[in-house]
Structure 1
């Protein structure tokens, strides 16, 4: 039975419409289960894990770009001084985001990572409105207000703001803002971001960190391979995401972004047994309602844009 199943599935996998969809599901699925991976290297501190994530990401990204661009690698990754300055800022933001994420996972607060990435799209809406002067539609305003109410409610009931979730949402929202106004592709951009971070993390590993506290090289070869694998954990989903983004409508990619925090939410509650109180339920319900409104508004806007595009591109004789 197995060979028959493989024969029937293979043509669909190779079809242009299915491959980007599978790539998108793979990217967000991997991002959702990545807490499991960082639990495996939890004996290293968050700072050491991020240092190795940066170093090995540079290696794997360089290999991917070399294969992708082959003989024109130098011209393909060349950037201007202005873009380099912007990527230095975005690199610092993504490093902060990674550090907060790994720290949250390794201190048993995966639920906060889920909350942070659920809030993130709404933070991006606010940043787009305030910084880029984009117009916030009324439904989006209601969604942002609901998410704010849910976050404030949780902060009041728990007794302190969910700093890790807010840090993740803010750092990644600002990262997205910088990358939006920077003319560079996702993989080339991340390559330069991590490359510019490399001297900093290398300096930290060689001279500033306590050698006795470093886990890499002090344990088994299997653990060292897992630490090197943090680069693959970064690069593989990014390659899959780039494939999905090229082949799928933007609204589909936007809906997929909720897969990762949903998986992390399930891991936190059902596998890691992190506390999930009625107060968490109220806050998440408000935020999920906000996301439903936001997504519905985005889908409606995308449909209107498509209709307008069809009308403007239709032949003159076909127009009423």
Structure 2
């Protein structure tokens, strides 16, 4: 289930590229609304609406989930815009940087202490960002926006969303975002030249509708896998997604990746190898310590 989730996420560039010429904001709105509808249908089938009553008076939880929803919506729209504008490799870089950003946020926001290999990984990650900005001729805004928005989303989910299952969390997040999505569609329909929904054939319309399924299924698979396999395994599997995104960009979407960009990717991969090695060694030591007690 974990592999399936990350493979599906890895194929997202092909999915969203197939939604052209629809703009990123309309795709985002459809993704939110159809995801909410799917969640409501699933909850109705399994008769699981009782958890909603438990949200009464949970203002801090709802506010935290609301901020998390805005962060994931930001992540989604930046990602969609990158793919549909021919910058999928920027998106792949963002998800390669995400583990490093998550570690850095742990230090800055949570006051966590890093081990030497973690410090080295973060330092190399910063070096990669500087190199890409200088050698690439432009600051990697898209990559950093994706990495930080998803990193902050994960941080908030860890703090305020731990009491919600994946299905409940996605339902609440999309319910919070639904009014904004409806407003976005109304604005596009009125002042943005009209909606693309239904204007480009049945296949295109079907893909827009199925964006809810494409959003919910890998999230639910990931949640199911995360409860059953070790964290280090989850961490290792997650690198399949940006690798596949990069392959999709180069092999299927015809994007050119410059030599400087490949060098930047290589620097990031060195940092990720160090981070992974630190995680594996630490978990092995902890396991050996428990066995010796």
Asked if Structure 1 and Structure 2 have the same fold, meaning a TM-score greater than 0.5 normalized by the shorter chain, the answer is yes
* Corresponding residue SS for 1:247: coil
After superposition, residues 1-320 of structure 1 pair within 5 angstroms as: 23-67=1-45, 70-75=46-51, 78-79=54-55, 80-182=58-160, 183=162, 184-207=164-187, 209=189, 210=191, 212-312=193-293
User: Judging changes above 3 Å, is the alpha-carbon distance between structure 1 residues 279 and 77 closer, same or farther for their aligned structure 2 residues?
Assistant: farther
| 1:16 aligned partner | none
CA distance in 2, matches of 1:145, 1:234: 33
Larger Rg: 1
* Corresponding residue SS for 1:189: helix
The 8 Å contact of residues 77 and 188 in structure 1, kept in 2 or not, is answered as no
CA distance in 1, matches of 2:21, 2:188: 19
Cα displacement (A) at 1:221: 2.9
Cα displacement (A) at 1:284: 0.8
Q: CA RMSD in A?
A: 1.6
CA distance in 2, matches of 1:152, 1:198: 38
CA distance in 1, matches of 2:259, 2:187: 47
CA distance in 2, matches of 1:278, 1:147: 18
* Corresponding residue SS for 1:152: helix
Q: What runs of 5+ residues in structure 1 fail to find an aligned partner?
A: 1-22, 313-320
CA distance in 2, matches of 1:219, 1:108: 20
Q: What runs of 5+ residues in structure 2 fail to find an aligned partner?
A: none
Length, aligned pairs only: 288
User: Judging changes above 3 Å, is the alpha-carbon distance between structure 1 residues 145 and 49 closer, same or farther for their aligned structure 2 residues?
Assistant: same
CA distance in 2, matches of 1:219, 1:100: 23
User: Judging changes above 3 Å, is the alpha-carbon distance between structure 1 residues 159 and 194 closer, same or farther for their aligned structure 2 residues?
Assistant: same
CA distance in 1, matches of 2:243, 2:50: 39
CA distance in 1, matches of 2:44, 2:277: 40
